[in-house]
Copies of this chain bind each other. A is one copy, B any other.
């Protein structure tokens, strides 16, 4: 197969978007919409650089970002090829609310608890903040299409966000944190399963003993501080996690 001639790529030398980003975005779009099908060979780096009147390192930076996203594979002595697996994006730092919103569902929430309370040993341990005196405690039931989907319990260190119940109904927790200037950096999640208790069953409109997905999560910000600890349960009949893994670092 003939290597792709990037006649369609145009770069704006004076625009605000970095050159490598412009190139990466346009090649990525060509892969997404099928102009660059699975297995297609990309032009080599030197030719690409010459045609776009850019330097080779700039081209390499563009290609590298696509390799990191898992859309391209480079092999020394061979070339660069498209590997379009079924799923494009690796796992992101997103919340249930974000995911549902992207799918076009309109999530609804009932806020059961939203208050600041003295920090117990449990909260102090999970938030990894020994001197903490107060925590915000949240308990919400998330629904879509009028059917309950999940029970969401959260601890947050007091003072990070101060949401009204209305805001909690209309926005996801991650959205609120980002709006408050928190720079989310990493999260550690544990996913398991258990049977529904009486209380679970009542809140989720399930029968006691039904299978539930459980998720415990600790979220960290840029400075390494814990900004949120949550333990959630999902109705297994209505929800499951999708994960994309790639082999890149």
Contacts and interface: CB of A to CB of B under 8 A. Distances in A.
A65 B249 contact: yes
A185 B68 contact: no
A132 B191 CA distance: 35
A104 to B, nearest CB: 20
Given A191-B241, A211-B211, A241-B191, A186 B247 contact: yes
The quantity of this chain's copies bound in the complex is 2
B247 A93 contact: yes
Contacts of A194: 211, 236
A243 B246 contact: no
B187 A240 contact: no
A110 interface: no
Contacts of A236: 192-194
Contact of A185 (B69, B83, B220): B83
A224 B220 CA distance: 34
Interface stretch (A84-92, A141-149, A157-165): A84-92
Contact of A210 (B85, B195, B213, B214): B195
Contacts of A92: 245, 247
Interface residues of A, number: 55
B188 A244 contact: yes
A135 interface: no
Contact of A242 (B93, B189, B220): B189
A38 B192 contact: no
B249 A68 contact: yes
B185 A70 contact: yes
A118 interface: no
Given A185-B247, A247-B184, A240 B85 contact: no
A236 B191 CA distance: 10
Nearest to A237: B194
Given A87-B186, A190-B240, A241-B190, A209 B209 contact: yes
Given A73-B185, A190-B243, A192-B239, 7 more contacts: A57-B57, A85-B186, A190-B242, A191-B241, A191-B243, A211-B211, A214-B240
